[in-house]
Chain A
């Protein structure tokens, strides 16, 4: 009772937002984050139900538990938003991200890049005598680890999709 005990732990949450696919809806969501000073660590958007005209926005954000609650409540106020689900707490789910990773080099580094990619089950999409483009899918932390291992092996650039998330089990979110 009484004094607020401020919980200052910064947590990372994956929030799935189902929205009407209307012009400007992404700007509303992104503008809310920018305007209220919330973080966006990654953002993934695409139409998922053409007939129902809905899109799914997956945001990975971070903040104290109170800020996370505010983020969800503020998202819920946006008129075109159908649902807001916190995959991190409400509905245990699966999160995956895909990255395209370009590595250039020859000799031992090139061989090592190939070996590491096999361990991570990354797939070579483009090959020249001096470069690879690998496709890797996994949790964001797996991709982080892979990219770090590639860095000394001639990492040129990385393109990441951001997180897609879905709940476990038979039911929809």
Chain B
């Protein structure tokens, strides 16, 4: 997200205009190009809501719970590349936003969250709806501010946008006491924003780029391992990535967060890496002699056992955040830079030095084809029960060619969606990766649909996750957002059940979803459309109906309750110790492995 900020901060000079703090908030948001905000009113933000009432441009989306507001803003941000904006009140409004803030911090989503606070003279008095918002949100934001003086307010909001959107993006909180919202001061327009201490580095060290490219040309078994950093850098980075991958002819895999940066239909695409990644992607990482990590962070869901991760390779790591280098895995060549800048420089060196891949590359591809032959995503379909994999395959087939955005909740359905839905473009896949927040997908879909009113927005959900933020159906109905909630209903917290089967002797402690609501009636109660499919032969028609109806839909897809998600690298195992299906022996999981989440 290196570029574009300067434009967003284009100055509108308004000398000596006195505004109230509340008016300043509205004015500053508009000066930063904000069109939509997600929020929920309350006592400590009433002046700002009053200013919104008198404004005709900003569109405010009233959610049903503040967590929903933050996830909606995340979906909005990830599908547009613009910052998501949230407005909530003090106390519970702020604490309810904490899950979303942490989610956005883990997944590097740019958010500006404005919280009301009790009046400055009441701070520290245990006042009604008071909480230490700055203290509570300090570890779950990129930065936060309590604005005690209205003269600082405009500057702080400009700084907030700058910090949220540049470098490694992330959520920020601006906490504004109620009296500050009433007080007046001259409005300071955003001009070219610089910061005394915060100066993200965009350009790569040219020597590091040269070394990296030469290592690439010399590699016999190279693989690209890319992540969300490519998407956060902007669409240009995805274009450049495609160019570099095609120039070199190397295989490429990606993390959960990086899907769409490289087209899944491309021959060089290996599928995702990690615990539920493909056999070929994980074996490539395991056996390669050069691992080129671009905007990915060696998360434990990717590496498996760290001391067995890619044991024979040199490792190049490009990241805009220096703290990611050498955090989990020892890196041979670090490059601290924005992805687009570094990729452009790599392409330049590769072309100018007329480099080509090592002659050993075809042999590497031959090996990869053998691994591909395992067909690690295959499953046994059924004529009687809807297999969850089949449901996603049909959803993909029937939505192809449309402008489709996918959000997910967290669990088995998320992993199946990652494995089976083919993403061709960045910013079309919104999922909670780092924090693993059940309840993310439905409100995220609200945000995505708000940003893309004509697009098809589908939340691939589980029946357990979706109940965590189901109240946002009401938001979707209110704003005529025709989001589609595609529930793979297996009556279990499926991933919990799977782990209990594999690691805890089949003792299914509290993972059965008893007393499920009737999702069809529930949809109708909300004023949405309810659908249900119980047999494979009714699936296609119902999916078609879901797509064609221009209203929010809750689609209860009754799937095989006992299906497990494979392939899988058991906790504490190495990439070449994958299990591919139930038919294999139960995995041996070490005591150390069981400790891992």
Closest A-chain residue to B140, C-beta based?
A35
The answer to whether B197 touches A31 (Cβ under 8 A) is no
The answer to whether B307 touches A3 (Cβ under 8 A) is yes
- Chain B min CB distance to A29 (Å): 11
Choice from A3, A19, A28, A74 contacting B138 with Cβ under 8 Å: A28
Chain A contributes a number of interface residues (CB within 8 A of B) equal to 24
CB within 8 Å of B: which of A81-107? 81-82
The answer to whether B311 touches A2 (Cβ under 8 A) is yes
Q: Which of B320-328, B363-371, B415-423, B523-531 contacts A (4 or more CB under 8 A)?
A: B320-328
Choice from B138, B163, B197, B307 contacting A4 with Cβ under 8 Å: B307
A82 CA to B321 CA, complexed, in Å: 16
Chain B residues lying within 8 Å of A73, measured Cβ to Cβ, are 322-323, 325, 327
Prevailing SS type, chain B contact patch: loop
The answer to whether B326 touches A77 (Cβ under 8 A) is no
A139 within 8 A of partner (CB): no
The answer to whether A35 touches B196 (Cβ under 8 A) is no
A-B contact count (CB 8 A): 53
A20 CA to B145 CA, complexed, in Å: 13
A27 within 8 A of partner (CB): yes
A69 CA to B327 CA, complexed, in Å: 9
Chain A residues lying within 8 Å of B332, measured Cβ to Cβ, are 1
Chain B residues lying within 8 Å of A70, measured Cβ to Cβ, are 323, 326-327
Which residues does A use to contact B, with CB under 8 Å? Answer: 1-4, 6, 19-20, 23-24, 27-28, 31, 35, 66, 69-70, 73-74, 76-77, 79-82
Q: What 5 new A-B contacts, CB under 8 Å, besides A20-B196, A31-B138?
A: A1-B312, A2-B311, A4-B307, A70-B323, A79-B198
Prevailing SS type, chain A contact patch: mixed
B314 within 8 A of partner (CB): yes
B146 within 8 A of partner (CB): yes
Chain B residues lying within 8 Å of A69, measured Cβ to Cβ, are 326
A77 CA to B196 CA, complexed, in Å: 14
Chain B residues lying within 8 Å of A1, measured Cβ to Cβ, are 312-314, 332
Chain A residues lying within 8 Å of B142, measured Cβ to Cβ, are 79
Question: Contacts A69-B326, A77-B321 given: A24-B311 contact, CB under 8 Å?
Answer: no
Chain A residues lying within 8 Å of B306, measured Cβ to Cβ, are 4
Chain B residues lying within 8 Å of A19, measured Cβ to Cβ, are 197
The answer to whether A77 touches B323 (Cβ under 8 A) is yes
Question: Contacts A4-B306, A23-B146, A35-B139 given: A79-B312 contact, CB under 8 Å?
Answer: no
B143 within 8 A of partner (CB): yes
CB within 8 Å of A: which of B328-354? 329-330, 332
A70 CA to B327 CA, complexed, in Å: 7
